[in-house]
Amino acid sequence: MHRRPTNGKLFLRGPYRLPVMPRAVTVGLHAAIVAVTEEEPRILTVSEGAADRRLAALPFGPLDPDRHRTLELGLRVWVHEQTGMELAYVEQLYTFGDRDRALAADGRTLLLAVAYLALVRERQVAEGHTAAWQGIYRFLPWEDRRDGEPEMFGSHIRPALAKWVNAATENSVRHERRGRADITFGSGAAQWDSERVLDRYELLYEAGLVAESARDKEPAAHAVDAIRPEVGFGAPLALDHRRILATALGRLRGKLKYRPLVFELLPGTFTLLQLQRTVEALVGVRLHKQNFRRLVERGSLVEGTGELEPDTGGRPAELFRFRREVLHERPAPGVGLPGLPAGQ
Amino acid sequence: MHRRPTNGKLFLRGPYRLPVMPRAVTVGLHAAIVAVTEEEPRILTVSEGAADRRLAALPFGPLDPDRHRTLELGLRVWVHEQTGMELAYVEQLYTFGDRDRALAADGRTLLLAVAYLALVRERQVAEGHTAAWQGIYRFLPWEDRRDGEPEMFGSHIRPALAKWVNAATENSVRHERRGRADITFGSGAAQWDSERVLDRYELLYEAGLVAESARDKEPAAHAVDAIRPEVGFGAPLALDHRRILATALGRLRGKLKYRPLVFELLPGTFTLLQLQRTVEALVGVRLHKQNFRRLVERGSLVEGTGELEPDTGGRPAELFRFRREVLHERPAPGVGLPGLPAGQ
DNA sequence: TCACTTATGCTCAATTTGAGAATTACAATA
DNA sequence: TATTGTAATTCTCAAATTGAGCATAAGTGA
């Protein structure tokens, strides 16, 4: 969007007039492409140069209204060009556009980022593409609580948060910070809410605890290869991409409960334990096995195929398939999370 | 965004390069401002000219990175300029950018629309502003089922949908259409899902049943003042604004269940019946009174003030207030909808 | 055959729904 | 003042759902 003479006709078919013409905005389409393999949620990243000199980024490209009929189609084009991947399930996440956090190198162009979540089954990345799958918890390590609170949480995050809280000189600010830290990270009266992924990342960002905070404040002082993961606070990503990743994971965790999204990540047939492990990997907590099975079976989300999977290490498990019909039956069919009192 | 020589440095601080420069995009900020008064959900609309010659529109304006530090702040500025209103609760809804549906009058500029939902207590519109509150169900009449299925549903919508289904010559298309109509409008095996507001509007749009469909197809043939409400299918709004309204209502209905949003719409103290009526107005269905009370009270969402509201027409009701503390206690405190099996 | 591992089935108490009856408190009216 | 109407508020009760665990089944490898 460039400055030029205002033209009332330009914007609308109707008689509405836009009072002022804006300066310079660029619209980017960004994809958080998620898969779960070997009980680990992964994200597809790209990197255009030598891996050791560049930060990983999510696949992205600018919206081109000439080529892209819709935003989502534009996204698919970019993803295909950069990773060779054809996306099935795609959903829009959020549009980011803070001036402080998404300014182009010219310091004048605002980079508007429309972020998407895509779910796929992990595949080998096609020839000729440098894209790579990486574990999501490499970037957001505090989000994985399947084996209880991770070690780095107590050793690094909690103390750093406490320091941040006490760094406030004003009493009211300190109180406000403590409350916010309690809610987002589930200390004090509040419990851990697995969906508040973005809140947690944002808090760490504001507290200056992730590499991106420093980079955005002092772009000059932080050339790309100067950005290094800080121990315990996860690896950084290019641009705003860790924020997008956090948004994606939070949305996915929430939506899992009322939409049958997991099945986008699983093969056509799967055992109930595979299903459970996939959900656990995403939500980052362990679930009660028998109750989980009861829920998905009673919810008629799956049906047995009669076939058995013998490689379980124990008794062979029956293979199930997703019953697509539920989409036509109930309003909000999700996997439901036994042991997780709504919202956890 | 204007075509100009590609400059790798323009876009990123890092070494990423955007392969192609896009053509022309304009970013608009649009606000669906919702209030509930007298048991009726309302939306704030603006209209720049004589009311009888113009369609109502939502408050909106272009993003101006010079003046607006963030998208949300830009939205607040526009809303304030156009309506005199200061917004409290604001949340981003969705970014729309279909080329077919949001092209400027020049036929070349894509109008990207970033839509927001805002919740307020209804107020008199300030002097000097032409903004007006209008009932939401004037635009989406089929969404109000508080008195059962509305009359126009059986008389107009259902037959029109059936016609649309049968208009498909190919068998598979017909089957697919019927399935979609069943899911979104809750016929056949499917139940009415109050959250699928957008799906329903989109289906009516695609079926050519709302005024906007024709307008977008034949802009020339449908000058603004030629767009007239079609009986039973609700009044049209300018641009894509009815779609934004549908998105807003759907989001609000969903979020009500797990976040205490209703209280943004209520005065500081209120009776439990007022609370219930407000929820009902938004969700568009009636709730079981005793169970509703049980839920909000057991959920500790509210606390009694001891004061009584005598003007109930019967026994005076106790006045309650929202317990802000719940935000610090439980992960997902919503009003819960008794009688509504999750997702309804 | 035994030890081990995982799948699957089943039980049971505690809670949470869904629905409605019963009781209370005020206003208006006979 | 007694009666009637309208809501508010309290209770009850059966049905369904959840949370937790025990028991049994069916494979594998030693």
* Contact call for A1 and B332, based on CB within 8 A: no
**Does any domain span residue A245?**
no
Among B25, B105, B327, beta carbon nearest to A65: B25
Residue B117, exposed/middle/buried by CB under 10 A (0-12, 13-18, 19+)? Answer: buried
- Torsion A162-A168-A174-A180 (CA) sign: negative
For residue B6, pLDDT beyond 50: no
What is the share, in percent, of chain B residues with pLDDT greater than 90?
A: 60
Residue (of A144, A334, A150, A156) closest to A249 by Cα position: A144
* Contact call for B95 and A71, based on CB within 8 A: yes
Among A24, A109, A179, beta carbon nearest to B328: A179
Residue of B nearest to A8 (CA): B105
* Positions on chain C within 7 A of a protein C-beta: 4-11, 17-21, 24-27
> Which positions ≥6 away from B237 have C-beta within 8 Å?
B45, B55, B56, B57, B58, B139, B212, B245
Residue (of B23, B100, B97) closest to A62 by Cα position: B23
For residue B179, pLDDT beyond 80: yes
| Cα B24 from Cα A65, distance rounded (Å) | 7
Nearest nucleotide (C1') to alpha carbon of A313: C5
For residue B246, pLDDT beyond 60: yes
The CATH number linked to A45 is: 3.90.79.10
* Contact call for B109 and A191, based on CB within 8 A: no
* Contact call for B71 and A95, based on CB within 8 A: yes
**Does any domain span residue B172?**
yes
Question: Are A37 and A81 contained in the same domain?
Answer: yes
Question: Are A130 and A41 contained in the same domain?
Answer: yes
DSSP calls for B233-245: S----STTHHHHH
Among the candidates B75, B109, B136, a domain finishes at B136
Q: How much is the pLDDT for A343?
A: 31
Name the residue closest to D6, CA to C1': B314
Residue of A nearest to B73 (CA): A98
Nearest nucleotide (C1') to alpha carbon of B299: C16
Among the candidates B88, B115, B136, a domain finishes at B136
* Contact call for A57 and B14, based on CB within 8 A: yes
Q: What is the pLDDT of residues B219-239, one digit of tens each?
A: 554 444 445 556 789 999 998
| Cα A321 from Cα B203, distance rounded (Å) | 29
DSSP state of B342: S
Name the residue closest to C17, CA to C1': B338
pLDDT along chain A (344 residues), means of 10: 37 44 78 95 82 79 91 96 94 93 76 96 78 95 93 93 94 94 86 93 95 76 50 89 97 92 95 94 93 88 89 90 84 64 31
What part of B 207-266 touches A (C-beta under 8 Å)? 215, 219, 224, 238-239, 258
Tell whether B339 is within 8 A of chain A (Cβ): no
Quick count: other Cβ atoms within 10 Å of Cβ B132? 15
* Contact call for B17 and A48, based on CB within 8 A: yes
**pLDDT, mean over chain B:** 84
* Contact call for A329 and B57, based on CB within 8 A: no
For residue B69, pLDDT beyond 50: yes
Question: Are A209 and A261 contained in the same domain?
Answer: no
> Which positions ≥6 away from A297 have C-beta within 8 Å?
none
Backbone angles phi, psi at B132, to 5 degrees: -145, 145
Question: Are A185 and A291 contained in the same domain?
Answer: no
Angle at B223 between CA B231 and CA B81, to 5 degrees: 90
Q: How many CB pairs under 8 A join A and B?
A: 253
| Higher per-residue pLDDT: B106 or B23 | B106
Among B10, B106, B195, beta carbon nearest to A104: B10
Q: What is the pLDDT of residues B89-128, one digit of tens each?
A: 999 999 999 988 877 767 778 889 999 999 999 877 777 7
Calculate the angstrom distance between C1' of D16 and CA of A209.
47
Q: Which of the four pLDDT bands, split at 50, 70 and 90, describes residue B340?
A: very low
**Does any domain span residue A262?**
yes
Question: Are B131 and B147 contained in the same domain?
Answer: no
DSSP calls for B139-188: TSGGG--BTBS-HHIIIIIHHHHHHHHHH--SHHHHHHHHHHHHHHHT-T
Residue (of B256, B237, B215, B232) closest to B43 by Cα position: B237
Containing structural domain, residue B60: 8-136
**Does any domain span residue B95?**
yes
Cα of B310 to nearest chain A Cα, Å: 37
**Does any domain span residue A150?**
yes
Tell whether A159 is within 8 A of chain B (Cβ): no
Among B22, B48, B65, beta carbon nearest to A99: B65
Tell whether A23 is within 8 A of chain B (Cβ): yes
Q: Give one word for A84, left, alpha or beta, with left for phi > 0 and alpha for psi -120 to 50.
A: left
Question: Are A23 and A121 contained in the same domain?
Answer: yes
- Calculate the CA B52 to chain-centre distance: 24
| Higher per-residue pLDDT: A11 or B177 | B177
- Minimum mean pLDDT range among B17-31, B88-102, B312-326: B17-31
| Cα A216 from Cα A39, distance rounded (Å) | 34
Long-range contacts formed by B318-323: CB under 8 A, 24+ apart: B318/B271, B318/B272, B319/B269, B319/B270, B319/B271, B320/B269, B320/B270, B320/B271, B320/B272, B320/B275, B321/B268, B321/B269, B321/B270, B322/B260, B322/B263, B322/B266
Residue (of B146, B137, B198) closest to B339 by Cα position: B146
* Helical H segments across chain B, by residue range: 8-11, 71-83, 151-152, 158-167, 171-185, 197-206, 211-217, 241-255, 272-283, 289-298, 326-329
Q: Is the distance from CB of A197 to CB of A253 less than 8 angstroms?
A: yes
For chain B, what is the domain count? 3
Question: Are B59 and B166 contained in the same domain?
Answer: no
**Does any domain span residue A216?**
yes
- Best of A17, A18, A68, A212 to disrupt the B interface by mutation (most B CBs within 10 Å)? A18
* Contact call for B183 and A98, based on CB within 8 A: no
Question: Are A96 and A166 contained in the same domain?
Answer: no
User: For residue A172, how many C-alpha atoms fall within 13 Å in the half-sphere facing its CB?
Assistant: 0
Question: Are B206 and B296 contained in the same domain?
Answer: no
Q: Which of the four pLDDT bands, split at 50, 70 and 90, describes residue B2?
A: very low
Tell whether A19 is within 8 A of chain B (Cβ): yes
Question: Are B22 and B121 contained in the same domain?
Answer: yes
* Helical H segments across chain A, by residue range: 8-11, 71-83, 151-152, 158-167, 171-185, 197-206, 211-217, 241-255, 272-283, 289-298, 326-329
Calculate the angstrom distance between C1' of D27 and CA of A251.
39
**Protein footprint of strand C, defined by Cβ closer than 7 Å to any strand atom:** A 271-273, 289-290, 293-294, 312-318; B 288, 290-291, 294-295, 308, 310, 314-316, 336, 338-341
Tokens of B314: 């019967």
Q: Helix, strand or coil for residue B51?
A: helix
For residue A94, the chain B residues in CB contact (below 8 A) are: 92
Token pair 């760490």: residue:
A204
Tokens of B281: 């107005």
For residue B218, pLDDT beyond 50: yes
Q: What is the pLDDT of residues B135-170, one digit of tens each?
A: 999 999 999 999 889 999 999 999 999 999 999 999
Question: Are A131 and A145 contained in the same domain?
Answer: no
| Cα B175 from Cα A187, distance rounded (Å) | 52
Question: Are A129 and A188 contained in the same domain?
Answer: no
**Does any domain span residue B98?**
yes
- Best of B17, B70, B182 to disrupt the A interface by mutation (most A CBs within 10 Å)? B70
Whether the CB of A273 is less than 7 Å away from nucleic strand D comes out as no
Residue of B nearest to A196 (CA): B331
- Torsion B237-B239-B240-B241 (CA) sign: negative
Residue (of A21, A280, A293, A242) closest to A134 by Cα position: A242
Tokens of B255: 């979020």
Q: How much is the pLDDT for B220?
A: 53
Residue A73, exposed/middle/buried by CB under 10 A (0-12, 13-18, 19+)? Answer: middle
Whether the CB of A17 is less than 7 Å away from nucleic strand D comes out as no
| Cα B164 from Cα B277, distance rounded (Å) | 35
- Calculate the CA A240 to chain-centre distance: 12
The CATH number linked to B320 is: 1.10.10.10
Calculate the angstrom distance between C1' of C18 and CA of B90.
35
**Does any domain span residue B57?**
yes
Calculate the angstrom distance between C1' of C10 and CA of A249.
36
Whether the CB of B293 is less than 7 Å away from nucleic strand D comes out as yes
Among the candidates A106, A136, A166, a domain finishes at A136
Q: How much is the pLDDT for A48?
A: 61
Q: How much is the pLDDT for A156?
A: 93
Q: Is the distance from CB of A243 to CB of A201 less than 8 angstroms?
A: yes
| Cα A194 from Cα A286, distance rounded (Å) | 12
| Higher per-residue pLDDT: B13 or B206 | B206
> Which positions ≥6 away from A130 have C-beta within 8 Å?
A46, A47, A48
Q: How much is the pLDDT for A214?
A: 84
- Best of A117, A330, A335, A337 to disrupt the B interface by mutation (most B CBs within 10 Å)? A330
Q: How much is the pLDDT for B53?
A: 56
